[in-house]
């Protein structure tokens, strides 16, 4: 289980995150929503060690991982993909995923042997199949379409077999049809792999269709949390975030 307690972070006097406490059940599928600048990405950055929190604890199981560096947190089983696909443009899809599989394991084998390590092959193939990039295995990552680059970014994180996977707007910059395809793929991943999946999403139709539970952030604070129905009915949420959109609809 992943939980954060009293997490705070400010940048030059501006509080990006103040006293946030949240829990994410093992194996759950949770959406993090909130208006622009609510601190959603900051939240991910704090959990993954991109920023060091000013105060608070981040518990993965029973271990407090707050203050650890990014690679150390990754090794404890928290993977992430980025809002803007973060990939390795000059490697082929397969090379990149194989590289990710090898990323930090087998440190000493890395010098004595050849790339790719035979034992990494089946895992890489499985990951490519999971996200549906198997047909693109030999394509240079930099030549992939935007959607495929986003998939590759997720595949890289998956290659490490994370316990917790954080996806920062998996559907960002996509057309309507592509969005649903993407979120379908993500949903299938979550069903097939035993992991806690947390995603940031702006499209409320997607959020309410797929998320088991929702966390709403606003101005760096938790505005609401709970099941989609709870959140939908929450007056604060309606006022602060969903107001115009859900106006006139029965709550």
Partner 1 sequence: MPRSTLTRDLLFAVGGLVLLVVLPLVFPGKAFSDFVIRLSAFAIYATSLNLLIGYGGMVSFGHGLFYGLGAYSFALLMQKMGTSIPLAFALTILVNGAVAAVIGAICIRLKEIYFSFLTLAFQMLLHSLIIAWTAVTGGDQGLTGGVPRPPFLGIRLDEPRHLYLFCCAVLVISLFLMRHLVQSPFGYTLRMIRDNPRRAEFLGIPVWRVRLLAFVAAGIFGGVGGMLISLFVSSAYPDFAYWTVSGEGVFMILLGGMKVFLGPLVGAAILLVLNDTVTRLTEHYSLVLGIVILVFALGLRSGLLGLVADLWTKRAARSWRIAQTPAQARTERQ
Q: Please select the residue that binds partner 1; options are 12, 14, 112, 248, rule is CB under 8 A.
A: 112
| 82 vs 190 by CB, closer to partner 1 | 82
Residue 180: burial class (beta carbons within 10 Å; 0-12, 13-18, 19+): middle
Q: Where are the alpha helices (DSSP H) in 103-217?
A: 109-112, 118-131, 146-158, 176-192, 204-210
Q: Please select the residue that binds partner 1; options are 80, 136, 179, 215, rule is CB under 8 A.
A: 80
Q: What is the 3-state secondary structure (H, E, C) of 28-95?
A: CEEEEECCCCCCHHHHHHHHCCCCCCCEEEEEECCEECCCCCHHHHHHCCEEEECCCCCCCCCCEHHH
Per CB under 8 A, 41 contacts partner 1: no
Q: Please select the residue that binds partner 1; options are 109, 192, 209, 229, rule is CB under 8 A.
A: 109
The SS3 assignment for 140 reads strand
Q: Please select the residue that binds partner 1; options are 88, 180, 208, 219, rule is CB under 8 A.
A: 88
Per CB under 8 A, 194 contacts partner 1: no
| 71 vs 176 by CB, closer to partner 1 | 71
In DSSP notation, 6-36 reads EEEEEETTEEEEEEEEEEE-TT-EEEEE-ST
Chain positions 133 to 152 lying near partner 1, rule: CB under 8 A, are: 138
* Total site size for partner 1, rule CB under 8 A: 41
Per CB under 8 A, 96 contacts partner 1: yes
Residue 235: CB atoms within 10 Å: 10
Q: Please select the residue that binds partner 1; options are 15, 22, 70, 240, rule is CB under 8 A.
A: 70
Contact predicate 59/3, CB 8 Å: yes
| 89 vs 235 by CB, closer to partner 1 | 89
Residues forming the site for partner 1 (CB under 8 A): 48, 50, 70-72, 74-75, 79-80, 82, 86-92, 95-96, 98-100, 102-104, 106, 109-117, 138, 153, 156-157, 159-160
């Amino acid at each position: 289980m992943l939980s954060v307690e009293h997490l705070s972070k400010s940048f030059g006097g501006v509080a990006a995150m103040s006293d946030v406490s949240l829990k994410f059940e093992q194996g759950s599928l949770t959406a993090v929503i909130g208006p622009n600048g609510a601190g959603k990405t900051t939240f991910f950055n704090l959990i993954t060690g991109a920023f060091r929190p000013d105060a608070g604890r981040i518990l993965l199981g029973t271990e407090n991982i707050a203050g650890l560096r990014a690679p150390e947190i990754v090794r404890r089983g928290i993977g992430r993909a980025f809002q803007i696909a973060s990939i390795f443009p000059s490697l082929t899809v397969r090379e990149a995923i194989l590289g990710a599989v090898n990323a930090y394991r087998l440190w000493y084998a890395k010098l004595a042997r050849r790339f790719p390590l035979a034992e990494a092959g089946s895992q890489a193939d499985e990951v490519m199949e999971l996200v549906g990039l198997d047909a693109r295995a030999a394509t240079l990552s930099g030549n992939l379409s935007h959607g495929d680059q986003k998939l590759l970014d997720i595949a890289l994180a998956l290659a490490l077999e994370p316990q917790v996977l954080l996806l920062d707007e998996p559907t960002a910059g996509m057309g309507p049809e592509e969005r649903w395809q993407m979120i379908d793929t993500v949903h299938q991943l979550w069903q097939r792999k035993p992991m806690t999946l947390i995603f940031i999403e702006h499209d409320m139709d997607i959020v309410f269709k797929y998320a088991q539970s929702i966390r709403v952030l606003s101005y760096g604070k938790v505005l609401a949390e709970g099941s989609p129905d709870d959140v939908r009915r929450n007056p604060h949420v309606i006022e602060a975030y969903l107001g115009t959109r859900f106006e006139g609809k029965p709550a």
